[in-house]
Structure formats: C-alpha cells, structure tokens
Amino acid sequence: MRVVLSNSAGVPLYQQIKEQVGTAILSGELAEGSALPSVRALARDLRISIITTTRAYAELAGEGFIATVPGKGAYVLPLDSALVREQLLRRVEDGLQTALDAALRAGLDREDLIQILDGLIQAEHEYASAQEGMSR
C-alpha cells in the first residue's frame, strides 16, 4: 500500500490517509488480517506528525475498517457487507455531486444528465459484453 499526500489538495492530511487506506481495503489491495504500518512508521515515512496518523487510524477503526491492538499494531478487519455498501454508496454520491456541480456550470438540465448517464451505462454494458466475448 502506498499513501501519497498533497498539501495543496484542500483536504486534511489525516483524511487523505484515511481515504487511501480505506480504498485499499475496499479494493482488496489490503486483505483481511493484513498488518498496517505502525503509526510512528507511517508518520516517519510520510514526514508528518504522529498525531495526524493516529487520527487517521482512529477514524478507520471507528468506521470498522481496522482494529488497533496496543503493542501489536493495526490490522485490517473483515469487511462487513453493509459497511462496504455504505462506503461505495458514499463514493457514488460524491461522484454524482461533482458531476451535478459541473453540469450546472455547463447549463445542463435533468434530461441532459439522464441522457448522459444512460449513454455511459450503455457504453459500460457494451464494453462488458465485448470483454466477455473476448474471454471465450
């Protein structure tokens, strides 16, 4: 797992860590039971405060992604399907909000957005069908 931080992203560093680790867990890059770097090691590697990494880990633990064991470190917990669904739903909502903001700036209305979304869904179905046909 690689964490990349940006001071100019407009997002707090602990939030960037939390999101990147959470994404790695949801994608399966970090499997259940995987050990995470210690708070101190991660802070040292990223050249940030231990307080920042502690907060990121605390929030990940609070959301059920990891468990921290004093003296042993932090480990990835089994994914709860309700948790996974909630996290993915939040990502969809964030993406749609970003798209809606851009659409409003471009002067698009509801029908335009539905037409664009339908086109994207159709293209995805066609791509999936083509991939399926190639794997036979």
Three-state secondary structure string covering the chain: CCCCCCCCCCCCHHHHHHHHHHHHHHHCCCCCCCECCCHHHHHHHHCCCHHHHHHHHHHHHHCCCEEEECCCEEEECCCCHHHHHHHHHHHHHHHHHHHHHHHHHHCCCHHHHHHHHHHHHHHHHHHHHHHHHHCC
Domain at 13-76, CATH class: mainly alpha
- Is the pLDDT confidence value at 84 over 80? no
Higher pLDDT, 135 or 109: 109
- Is the pLDDT confidence value at 42 over 80? yes
Confidence at 123, pLDDT banded by 50, 70, 90? very high
Nearest alpha carbon to residue 21 among 3, 5, 44: 3
User: Among residues of the chain, what percentage have pLDDT more than 70?
Assistant: 99
Reported pTM: 0.66
> Range with the lowest mean pLDDT among 2-6, 81-85, 91-95?
81-85
